[in-house]
Structure 1
Amino acid sequence: MGDIRRRWTVTARARSDRGPNGLSLLPWLLMGMGALSHLIQGDAPNPVIGGLGLFTFNTLYIAIVVRAFSPCHRETPLTWGLLTALAALTFALAIGYGREWLLLFPLLGLAVGAVVRRRKRLGRITVPLVLAVGVVTFWRDGWNSFGVVYGTFISVMVTAAILALDETVRQLRATREELARTAVEKERLRFSRDLHDLLGHTLSVVVVKSEAARRLAPHDIDAALAQVADIESVGRQALTEIREAVTGYREGSLATELDRARDALSSGGIEPVVRQSGPPLEPRTEALLSWVVRESATNTLRHSGATRCEIKVGGTPERVRLTVTDNGRGGDAATAGSGLKGLRERVAAAGGTLDSGPAPRGGFRVTAELPVETQASQEWETTG
C-alpha cells in the first residue's frame, strides 16, 4: 500500500510539473460560435467560403497553440508561418463578414500570446496588431467594437504573462532540483574523500606501530606495550574523526596534525623535521593544510622508503605555503591512490594550488599554497 501511494505521489508530482499544455487554450474556440451561428442561419454571404475560412481558422489555431507549448517548436519558422497565416485569415474574415466574426480577434490574441513570450518582441508585435484590429473593428462596427479591441489586447498580454511565468517557475523548480542533486553529489564526494584520507592515514599508522610493537616485544616489553597503547589511541581517535566526517563538522587543527605526523613518522623509522612560521590561520585554511599534512605523511610512510621527512609551514602575509619533502625514492610511487588528486581539487576550490613531484635533490615533495585571510602576525618554529 505504501509503495502504491509513493508511486501515485511521484506520478502526480510529475504531472503537475508539466504545467499547462495546448489543450488549455482549446475551449476558447467557443468564441467562434457566433460566426458559426451566422453561417447556419444563412445571414452570411458566400457561406461556403465562410465555412472553409472558419474551418481553416480553427485548424491553424489548434496547430499553433499545440506547437506553442513545445519549446523546440514554439519559435520555429513553421510556427511563425502558421501564425502569420492565421492573422491574415482573421483579418480577411473580419473585413469580409464583420459583426460576430470580429470575436476571432481575441482568439488571434491568444495564439500570439502563446507563441510570443519575450518582452521586447511582444511589444513590437502587440502594438501594431491592436492598432490594426482597432481600425478594422471600428470600420465594421463603430464604437461598439471597443470591447473586441480591448479583449484582443488583454488576450495577448495575459496569455503571454501567465505562460512566461509558468515557464519561469518550472525552470526554477528544475534548477532547484538540480542544485539539490549537486549538493548530494558534493556531500558524497566529501565523505568519500574524508573517509579515504582518514582510514588511509589511520591504517598506515596502525601498521607501522604494530610492526614496531612486534620488533620491540622480544627485547623491551614495556616499549612494545606503549606502541600497543598508541594503536588503541589511534583507533579511538579514528572513530571520533569518522563520526565527525559523517556529520560534516570535522575541522582539522594543523598543530595537532603536525604532532600526529611527527609521531607516525618516528614510529616508522623516519626522522621528522617540522618547521612552522607565519600568522595564525583561519579554520578552513588550517583544515585544508591538515589534510595535506596527513596525506603526505601517509604517502611517505607507505611508499617512499625515506629516512627523513621535512614539513615546513610558512609564507607571506597574503599566502601560506606548506611543503612536505622526503629523501625517499621519489617518482610516481609516492603519489599512489586518489588522495592527492582529491586534495588538489579541494585546494583549488579554496583559491590555492597543490603541486607534487620529485624534489630537486631527490626524494618527493608536495607543495600547497593557500590565501591567508587574517593579517595577525605570529611566528614560531618547532623542530622535532
Structure 2
Amino acid sequence: MASRNRIGSGIRAWRDARDEWKADYARVKADRRQHGRPAEELGPPPTGFALLPWLLMGLGAASNLVQGKTPHPWVGGAGLLVFNSLYVYVVFRAFHKETRRATSTRAAVAAMGLLTCGLAGAYGGSWLALFPLLGLAVGAVARGRHLGKVGLALTVLAGTVSGLRDGWDAVSVAYGTFLSTMVTAAILSLSETVRELRDAREELARQAVEQERMRFSRDLHDLLGHTLSVIVVKSEAARRLAPSSIDAALEQVTDIEAVGRQALTEIREAVTGYREGSLSTELDRARSALTAASVEPVVRQSGPPLSARTEALLGWVVREAVTNAIRHSAATNCTITVEGTADRVRLRVTDDGVGPSASAGVSGGTGLKGLAERLSAAGGSLRSGEAPRGGFEVRAELPTGDREPTLAAPA
C-alpha cells in the first residue's frame, strides 16, 4: 500500500510538472514573439524531463530481474519500482525552490538512499548503478554551500557499500556517484542563474520604460503648461488692448504666434529626446510673460558660466515657477535671482502674491514634484513654500558642472 501511494504521488508530480512545463514554454514563446525574437533562441525552461533519460541506467538491474539472475525477484522488482517512483518525484520537485527545500522532498531523497544501500548491498553487480542515479537526484536537490559535504558523504557511502559487495569495482561506482552529483548540481545551478538573470533583465527593461514615460510626461507638462499659460495671458492682453490700441493688440498677437511656433519646435525636439533648454532664453520669456500678465519682473543674474545641463534644469525651474506665479498667485511683482559660485549655483523665484495657502496645489503640483526629482538626480535640490516676507518662493540649487543622472530605486 505504501509503495502504491508513492507511485501515485510520483505520477501526479509528473503530470503537474508536465502542465507547468507547457505553460512556461507557451509564456516564453509569447514573450519572444512580442519582442520580435524567435522563441527557439531561448528554448523551453528546464524541468524534470531533462533527468528522466538517466533512468536507463537501471536497465541492467531490470534485465537481471527478467533473466532470473536476481534472488527473490519480487522483492527486487518492488524495490526497483519504488526507487524509480521516488526518483521521478524528486527530480520534478527539484526545479522549484519551494518544493526543492520541502521536508517531503528531503524525506524522499533519504528513502532513496536507504533503498539504494539495501538493493545494491543485497544484489551488487548492475544494481550498483543505482548509486549514480541517487547522485543525480541528490545533486538536483542539494544545491548550495553544503553541496560539497553532501557529495563527498554520498561518494564515501557508495564506495563503502560497493567495496563490501564487489571489491575494486567500488572505485568506478564511487567516481560515477561523485561526478553525477556535482555535475548535475553545477548544470542546474547555472541554468537557474541564467533564468534569474533573464528575469532581472526584463525587470530592468520594464523600469527603464517606466522612467522614460515619467520623463516624457514631465517634459510635456513643462512644455505645454507654460506655453499655454503664456498664450492665454497674451490673448487676454490682446483682447483688453484691442479697443484702445490696435497696434499694441497686434504686438501681443505677434507674440502669441511666436510662442506657438516655438512650442511646436520644442515639442518636436522633445519627442526625439534632443531638446536642450537655455537659462537666458527662459529668463527673456519670463520677462515677456510676466509683463503681459501685468506682473513687474525683476531679474538678477551673477556668477560664472554654467554647463548646458545646469542651464537646462534651471530653465525648467524658471519656466515652472513663473507659470505658477502667473496662474495662481495674483502677484504684482516677481523677482528672479541667479547666483553662481565656483561649484554651486542657486536660483530663487519670489513673488508677492497670496502665498501657498490660497494657491492650494501649487507647492504640491506635479510640475514642481517632477522638477524636484530631476534636480535630485543631478545632485541638486528644489524647495518651495511661503516666502519670508509673504508670497511664494521657489529655491533651486545645483552643481555648476555636469553630472550623470541616476535612476531612482523602485518603490
Q: What TM-score, normalized by structure 1, do the two folds share?
A: 0.90
The answer for the alignment partner of 2:155 in structure 1 is 130
The answer for the alignment partner of 1:268 in structure 2 is 293
Deviations along 1:41-75, whole A, 9 cap, x unmatched?
Answer: 22222323222221221111111101101222111
CA 1:321/1:17 → structure 2, altered by over 3 Å: closer, same or farther? farther
In the TM superposition, what is the alpha-carbon distance from 1:373 to its structure 2 partner? 2.8
The answer for the alignment partner of 2:331 in structure 1 is 306
Whether 1:258 aligns to 2:286 is no
- Among 185, 189, 197, the residue aligned to 1:160: 185
The answer for the alignment partner of 1:117 in structure 2 is 143
The answer for the alignment partner of 1:282 in structure 2 is 307
In the alignment, residue 157 of structure 1 is paired with which amino acid? M
Whether 1:66 aligns to 2:92 is yes
CA 1:20/1:7 → structure 2, altered by over 3 Å: closer, same or farther? closer
In the TM superposition, what is the alpha-carbon distance from 1:364 to its structure 2 partner? 0.3
In the TM superposition, what is the alpha-carbon distance from 1:336 to its structure 2 partner? 6.7
In the TM superposition, what is the alpha-carbon distance from 1:78 to its structure 2 partner? 2.0
The answer for the alignment partner of 1:348 in structure 2 is 376
Q: Is the 8 A contact 1:17 1:170 kept in 2?
A: no
The answer for the alignment partner of 1:338 in structure 2 is 366
Q: Is the 8 A contact 1:317 1:372 kept in 2?
A: yes
Q: What TM-score, normalized by structure 2, do the two folds share?
A: 0.84
CA 1:146/1:190 → structure 2, altered by over 3 Å: closer, same or farther? same
Whether 1:84 aligns to 2:107 is no
Q: Is the 8 A contact 1:254 1:287 kept in 2?
A: yes
The answer for the alignment partner of 2:396 in structure 1 is 368
In the TM superposition, what is the alpha-carbon distance from 1:295 to its structure 2 partner? 0.5
In the alignment, residue 81 of structure 1 is paired with which amino acid? A
Gaps of 5+ in 1: 1-5, 375-384
Deviations along 1:151-203, whole A, 9 cap, x unmatched?
Answer: 22221122112111111111111111112221222111111111111001001
Structure 2 SS opposite 1:331: coil
In the alignment, residue 123 of structure 1 is paired with which amino acid? G
Whether 1:209 aligns to 2:237 is no
The answer for the alignment partner of 2:59 in structure 1 is 33
* Alpha-carbon separation, structure 2, partners of 1:294 and 1:329: 20
In the alignment, residue 198 of structure 2 is paired with which amino acid? R
* Alpha-carbon separation, structure 1, partners of 2:170 and 2:356: 87
The answer for the alignment partner of 2:409 in structure 1 is none
Structure 2 SS opposite 1:138: helix
CA 1:165/1:8 → structure 2, altered by over 3 Å: closer, same or farther? closer
Whether 1:246 aligns to 2:271 is yes
In the alignment, residue 106 of structure 1 is paired with which amino acid? P
Whether 1:99 aligns to 2:125 is yes
Structure 1 SS opposite 2:233: helix
Q: Is the 8 A contact 2:242 2:248 kept in 1?
A: yes
141-150 or 237-246, which deviates more: 141-150
* Alpha-carbon separation, structure 2, partners of 1:108 and 1:150: 13
In the TM superposition, what is the alpha-carbon distance from 1:124 to its structure 2 partner? 1.6
RMSD of Structure 2 on Structure 1 (CA): 2.2
Instruction: Kindly report which structure 2 residues correspond to 1:195-234, keeping only aligned pairs within 5 A, or say none.
Output: 195-234=220-259
In the alignment, residue 339 of structure 1 is paired with which amino acid? G
In the alignment, residue 238 of structure 2 is paired with which amino acid? A
| Larger RCO of the pair (alpha carbons < 8 Å, separation 6+) | 1
Deviations along 1:56-109, whole A, 9 cap, x unmatched?
Answer: 211111111011012221112222222122122212221121111100111111
In the alignment, residue 100 of structure 2 is paired with which amino acid? R
Q: Is the 8 A contact 2:331 2:352 kept in 1?
A: yes
* Alpha-carbon separation, structure 1, partners of 2:347 and 2:114: 74
Whether 1:179 aligns to 2:207 is no
* Alpha-carbon separation, structure 1, partners of 2:149 and 2:262: 70
In the TM superposition, what is the alpha-carbon distance from 1:319 to its structure 2 partner? 2.8
In the TM superposition, what is the alpha-carbon distance from 1:217 to its structure 2 partner? 2.0
CA 1:272/1:14 → structure 2, altered by over 3 Å: closer, same or farther? farther
In the TM superposition, what is the alpha-carbon distance from 1:210 to its structure 2 partner? 1.2
In the TM superposition, what is the alpha-carbon distance from 1:316 to its structure 2 partner? 4.2
In the TM superposition, what is the alpha-carbon distance from 1:17 to its structure 2 partner? 6.1
The answer for the alignment partner of 1:21 in structure 2 is 47
Q: Is the 8 A contact 1:205 1:264 kept in 2?
A: yes
Q: Is the 8 A contact 2:158 2:170 kept in 1?
A: no
The answer for the alignment partner of 1:379 in structure 2 is none
In the TM superposition, what is the alpha-carbon distance from 1:8 to its structure 2 partner? 10
Q: Is the 8 A contact 2:160 2:170 kept in 1?
A: no
* Alpha-carbon separation, structure 1, partners of 2:323 and 2:158: 80
Structure 2 SS opposite 1:276: strand
CA 1:8/1:154 → structure 2, altered by over 3 Å: closer, same or farther? same
Structure 2 SS opposite 1:165: helix
Deviations along 1:225-246, whole A, 9 cap, x unmatched?
Answer: 2211111111111011111111
The percent of aligned pairs where both chains have the same amino acid is 63
